[in-house]
Amino acid sequence: MAKAAAKVGGTSCIRFVMFDAEVAEGEIGQITQAIQNALRGPSQVSVQRLPNPTALKAPEANGHDQSADVEAPSDEEILDVTPTPAPRQPRARRTVAKMPKVISIDMESDVSFASFANGKDAGSQHKKFLIVAAWLAEHRNTPAVTEDHVFTCFKSIGWPLNIPDFGQPLRDIKTKRQFFEKSDKGYEINHLGLAYVKKLGGENGAT
């Protein structure tokens, strides 16, 4: 019998063996199979390479998969989940301006407010407010006006009072037109404001 043994990285060795045997009938198949296996050479052993231990997840490295301990939610639990509504933002509180009041002002002595305003271009709220401020400064020795001064003059002459905030035009005239100066007593009309009122016409304009 010839048998070859292979060595990795070396030379091959061949062993040739002659034998003579008497076998019983029916055993020749087993002998033939043994000879074929011997001639086939040593069987190769497949080696399975293990993954790097550092690549294992922490639960697997400890020999226990913690994810298996977490019970998956049932279909009923999933269907019963109701989204939590977002909290409603509180509405900003609207500040309502205080309604002005009538104060004591001599409206009739010369020069009266009605005669002062007569014939003047009072086509806007800002013009009306400036007319009031100019009359008070020139004929009533009141250089600083407030919402109450304006409200009283408007009411005396019958000008519309449907103004949500009587202080807003005063602030606008100071900021945008710069015809007022702010003081602790109110809004004082300056020389630019007085000159503007003179251009609005009328016989009794500011002097």
Q: Which residue has the higher pLDDT, 17 or 157?
A: 157
Count of CA atoms in the C-beta half-sphere (13 A) of 147:
14
The structure's pTM equals: 0.55
Residue 160 has pLDDT above 70, yes or no: yes
184 vs 39 pLDDT, higher one: 184
Domain boundaries, the chain: 2-40, 113-198
Say yes or no to pLDDT of 6 above 90: no
What pLDDT, in 10s, does the model give residues 64-101?
555 555 566 565 554 455 566 777 777 767 677 889 99
| Residue 51 in tokens | 């993954």
Q: Cα angle at 69 between 63 and 74, to 5 degrees?
A: 150
6 vs 105, residue with greater confidence: 105
Average pLDDT over residues 36-58: 58
Mean pLDDT of 101-109: 96
* Residue predicted with more confidence, 19 or 89: 89
CB atoms within 10 A of CB 187: 26
113-198 is classed CATH 3.10.20: no
Name the DSSP class of 132. H
